[in-house]
Amino acid sequence: MPDPIIPALAQTRVVKFARVRRERLLPTRGVVMVTAGNRVGALDVVAKVTSAGNVRPVPLARYLRTKETALDKYLLKQPGEDFAAREILASKPESFGMLRRIYRAPKAGRIVAAQGAWLALDLADTAFELRALYRGTVINVMARQGVVIEATGALVQGMWGAGGEGYGVIRQMVDQPDALLSDDRIDVTARGTVLLAGAGITEAALRRAAEERVAGLIVGGLAPGLRRLCAELELPTLVTDGFGECAMSKMIFELLAAHVGEETIINAPTVPVSPSRPEAFIPILAGGGAGETAVPPPTLLAQVGANVRVVSGALRGQIGKIAEIATLPRTLESGVAAWGAEITFDTGARLFVPWENLELIG
């Protein structure tokens, strides 16, 4: 009998207590503010870019309508000098001194050089501060780039995320994982919290959450048309189960509900392709796992007893366990032969599901 074909399945980590390591990197080279061994909180600044500048050439002689040989006498700032935003850098009198033709700095910066008809400006962008986000210990410092932080706590990975990073205490907004969150349940008391919703959220509720400045949103499902709105509102959003009205998995809902009132972070960068999954993380002290020892989440394997979630088809979102791995492909109702496994669901039903419709979870 041939060995069963088991493809590499996607994995979604839902872990009550684990040790994780996360890189925190600057967008460009800067200064790292901490050293290895330092304990950091979520809002602590671990690195910053003090002057992420860009050099801009300016055809100053053309702007002032003068010859390049006469340009020096109109300069009010010399190479090497700093200037403020909208400060006048050059001034040329016109109409017998009654009027002046000027050039203002577009933003703060420094004059790099004045050569010929051109002026080179080093324009400083807004300073960027990188916060730790994960409460834990700095275990590695990458010079001028960032740090690696080791943290212990509960981890929930999502299927989709947007809006960036959020930090606040988690607040349960619905009683059941299949409930929708409407705008009438969100008020000023939600400000600064991470909202735990169920199967979805209305557009009005999403806008209300942004108006009340909530720190983030964790929801089971999201209408496809609201994805762009989440990014535009810059509301950190983690979708755990899928698009459309999709009940949050009981495993995920119960884990998050058990930590209501505790600090929670959402890491959901708004990028088309991200090297890491969007996630929610609830920091727990190393000795706070009910006597458990925090270890890195092990690699999940498609084997008998493993937890799986159906990701497509009529059973989408349901979680069960692998009861038996098929040793031969089976013919589906569509007439297609597929490899898969017998799955026992929480309802007690046992059904064959192709591997293409499954992911490992746990």
pLDDT band at 157 (very low <50, low <70, confident <90, very high): very high
Q: Which pLDDT belongs to residue 238?
A: 95
Mean of the pLDDT values across residues 172-184? Answer: 94
| Strand ranges across the sheet with 319-325 | 11-12, 358-361, 307-310, 319-325, 340-345, 350-354
Mean of the pLDDT values across residues 136-142? Answer: 96
Q: How far is CA 121 from the centre of its chain?
A: 34
| % of the chain residues with pLDDT over 70 | 94
> Strands 307-310 and 319-325: what pairing?
antiparallel
Instruction: Please determine, for residue 193, whether its predicted confidence score (pLDDT) is greater than 70.
Output: yes
Instruction: Please determine, for residue 287, whether its predicted confidence score (pLDDT) is greater than 60.
Output: no
Q: Which pLDDT belongs to residue 290?
A: 53
Mean of the pLDDT values across residues 19-34? Answer: 91
Q: Which residue did the predictor score with more confidence, 179 or 296?
A: 179
Look at 78-82, 95-99, 167-171, 173-177 and tell me which has the smallest mean pLDDT: 95-99
In total, the chain counts a number of residues equal to: 362
pLDDT band at 2 (very low <50, low <70, confident <90, very high): low
Q: Identify the CATH number of the domain defined by range 307-361.
A: 2.30.30
Q: What are phi and psi of 176, to 5 degrees?
A: -130, 150
- What's the CA angle centered on 156, arms 150 and 157, to 5 degrees? 95
Q: With contact defined as beta carbons under 8 Å apart, do 324 and 342 qualify? A: yes
Q: Which residue did the predictor score with more confidence, 270 or 52?
A: 270
Q: Identify the CATH number of the domain defined by range 53-124.
A: 2.40.50
Q: Which pLDDT belongs to residue 275?
A: 64
Instruction: Please determine, for residue 203, whether its predicted confidence score (pLDDT) is greater than 90.
Output: yes
Instruction: Please determine, for residue 332, whether its predicted confidence score (pLDDT) is greater than 60.
Output: yes
Q: Which residue did the predictor score with more confidence, 84 or 290?
A: 84
Q: Which pLDDT belongs to residue 210?
A: 93
Mean of the pLDDT values across residues 215-240? Answer: 92
Gap between the terminal Cα atoms of the chain: 31
Residue partners of 182: CB distance under 8 A and separation at least 6:
202, 204, 205
Q: Where are the alpha helices (DSSP H) in the chain?
A: 60-64, 203-211, 227-233, 250-257
Whole-structure pTM value = 0.76
| % of the chain residues with pLDDT over 90 | 56
Q: Where are the domains of the chain?
A: 53-124, 159-276, 307-361
Give per-residue pLDDT as tens, 308-331.
999 887 888 888 999 999 888 888
**Chosen CATH of 159-276 out of 3.40.1130.10, 3.50.30.20, 3.30.390.30, 3.40.250.10:** 3.50.30.20
Token pair 């051109």: residue: 118
Give per-residue pLDDT as tens, 79-133.
989 899 899 999 999 887 788 889 999 888 889 888 888 999 988 766 789 999 9
CA neighbor of 17 nearest in space, from 285, 302, 277: 285
Instruction: Please determine, for residue 261, whether its predicted confidence score (pLDDT) is greater than 70.
Output: yes
Mean of the pLDDT values across residues 239-252? Answer: 90
pLDDT band at 53 (very low <50, low <70, confident <90, very high): low
